[in-house]
Structure 1
Amino acid sequence: MSIISIIIPCYNQAQYLDECLQSVWDQTYTDWECIIVNDGSLDHTDEIVKKWLTKDVRFQYLKKENEGVSAARNSGIEKSTGEWILPLDGDDKIGSRYLELASKEFHNNIDIIYSTGQYFGEKNTIFASEPFDYQAFLMENQIFCTAFFKKSDWKKTGGYDPEMKGGYEDWEFWIHLSAYKNPLRVKHLTEVGFFYRIKPASRNVDAMQKNDASLRDYIYRKHPKVFYRNLNSLKEYYHENQKLKRENQHLKNLVNSKRNIVMNRILKIFGK
């Protein structure tokens, strides 16, 4: 039994999978297992995985019919033995010290651990570098999918929602978790631990942009207690942003105008 179970769902990502699995194998922290979930791929994923299964017994393989990333993650987590779970998409990678740094927080009464991120590929910039802010998180996801959480908490939520096939499935999972955890205890690591590949057509980016409103409405209506519980603080957060924009013209570019649209939608749904 390992402390950390890394879950890698992959669908037609064979060309990137070696790089992803190499980043797992390079970890300075060694008490892990890695479950690769082939979600009905039509490429040569089998060939890539076979050599890693031979290379290290900590790698495991699960093949299933294509049902989407949420179902694939759930299948891998169900099979896992670790206390802590780390999802990782098959076209991304992690820094060599990510597991080591996160493991130092495992006994600090934390629910979610994530790091600063960095894009690579078609783009090369830092993201998710700001401290976690729960009110901002309820309006825009601040935690990428490759973050640590306890398997016991995954069981409480029932796992990732298989109905969310158009994106935001990780955000919905974090929000669902916050329904059980009040407050949600999140640790943000300042070191870059996660590398998100930007391709000409990255997974779900176009779909999320196209279906942003419907995906958000689904999340809001699925978790009304979370948003009702935080409605007053969200309104205060919204009005403070508006005030800053009025008081300082230079902040107009720093305050995301999309949050105004999001907040108006939340208020419309909950009739406040």
Structure 2
Amino acid sequence: MSEFISIIIPCYNQAIYLDECLQSVLDQTYSNWECIIVDDGSPDNTKEVTEKWIEKDNRFQYLHKQNGGLSSARNAGIEVAKGEWILPLDADDKISSRYLELAQKEFDKDYTVIYCKAEKFGVDNEFWDLPDFSQQALAQTNIIFCTAFYKKKSWEKVDGYDTNMLYGLEDWEFWISLLKNGGNVYRIDEVCFYYRTKENSMITELSQTRKTMMLFHIEKKHLDFFHQHLGSMHHLNYEKEQNQKKAEYYHNQLQKLINSKRYQLTEKIFSIFRR
């Protein structure tokens, strides 16, 4: 029997994109799935749009909850999900018709996370060039988008998405929780995920103050992980100071050269030939 997959789509003020997103789910070549649309107290017509899709196919489900943020909405959907495997998908993004099929072929190979190559569309239309996975790379920045497969029991093991991550970066924190103690990651060698870029998004609107708050929370929660792969904060500060000293040294050397009589004489000679 083929594995059952639960696709979780939180929606808050994204109903305008929801049809396109759900059509990409309906187009899947792999049929053993359910799709739970989580209305996170959205003030738009998310419910009406979803009801239309439920009439088309009863594999679509609607779940309403009080607004609590993206992490809370994903957790609510996964909590009621029946699938062994979970695939989060944001309401403004899309997946290719073969994404579930290609991922399912890898389910029996002991992978913790399965994802794919990706493209951006919307304001930017380009291949999304992400680094290959390594814990070192993950410690530096998020390198896996949210729409990746993992087992529900893995989500349970790390207590789900951190609801303290109210202002973004929740995916990065989740992947660190899931993978910092080991785990195998596989990337499908095909573009199966399409990330919508907009003038305004949760990421672009993330103020520096809020971003600092989220980064501080992640660092505090996973300090051992960052120490292991990036070194201590003191070591990073020392390297920063050394790099600043090197930059100042080379700047001073350049200034000495520019101010030297030899350099000024050379410039005069060149100016004569330029005439």
Q: Which residue of 2 aligns with 1:18?
A: 19
Structure 1 pair 7/67, CA: closer, same or farther in 2 (3 Å)?
Answer: same
Q: Which runs of 5+ in 2 are unaligned?
A: 247-275
Q: How far 1:178 sits from its partner (Å)?
A: 2.0
Q: Which residue of 1 aligns with 2:159?
A: 158
Q: How far 1:2 sits from its partner (Å)?
A: 6.0
Q: Which residue of 2 aligns with 1:175?
A: 176
1:205 and 1:143 mapped to 2: Cα distance? 18
Q: Which residue of 2 aligns with 1:39?
A: 40
Bigger mean CA deviation after superposition, 218-227 or 206-215: 206-215
Cα deviation, 1:201-253, whole Å, max 9, x if unaligned, reads: 122322165533332221111112222333459989xx9xx9xxx9xxxxxxx
| Identical columns (%) | 53
Q: How far 1:3 sits from its partner (Å)?
A: 1.3
Q: How many residues align?
A: 238
Contact 1:135–1:233 (CA<8 Å) still a contact in 2? no
Contact 1:26–1:96 (CA<8 Å) still a contact in 2? yes
Question: Is 1:27 aligned to 2:28, yes or no?
Answer: yes
Q: Which residue of 2 aligns with 1:197?
A: 196
Contact 2:8–2:88 (CA<8 Å) still a contact in 1? yes
2:214 and 2:224 mapped to 1: Cα distance? 18
Structure 1 pair 185/233, CA: closer, same or farther in 2 (3 Å)?
Answer: farther
Structure 1 pair 233/136, CA: closer, same or farther in 2 (3 Å)?
Answer: farther
Q: Which residue of 1 aligns with 2:184?
A: 185
Contact 1:129–1:190 (CA<8 Å) still a contact in 2? no
User: Which secondary structure does the structure 1 equivalent of 2:205 belong to?
Assistant: helix
Cα deviation, 1:146-197, whole Å, max 9, x if unaligned, reads: 1111100000000001110111001000101124x42x31101221111111
Q: Which runs of 5+ in 1 are unaligned?
A: 247-272
| Matched AA of 1:3 | F
Question: Is 1:64 aligned to 2:65, yes or no?
Answer: yes
| Matched AA of 1:54 | E
Q: Which residue of 1 aligns with 2:206?
A: 207
Bigger mean CA deviation after superposition, 119-128 or 211-220: 211-220
Structure 1 pair 209/96, CA: closer, same or farther in 2 (3 Å)?
Answer: farther
Structure 1 pair 101/129, CA: closer, same or farther in 2 (3 Å)?
Answer: farther
2:4 and 2:173 mapped to 1: Cα distance? 25
User: Which secondary structure does the structure 2 equivalent of 1:218 belong to?
Assistant: helix
Contact 1:178–1:226 (CA<8 Å) still a contact in 2? no
Structure 1 pair 102/208, CA: closer, same or farther in 2 (3 Å)?
Answer: farther
Contact 2:111–2:184 (CA<8 Å) still a contact in 1? yes
Whose radius of gyration is greater, 1 or 2?
2
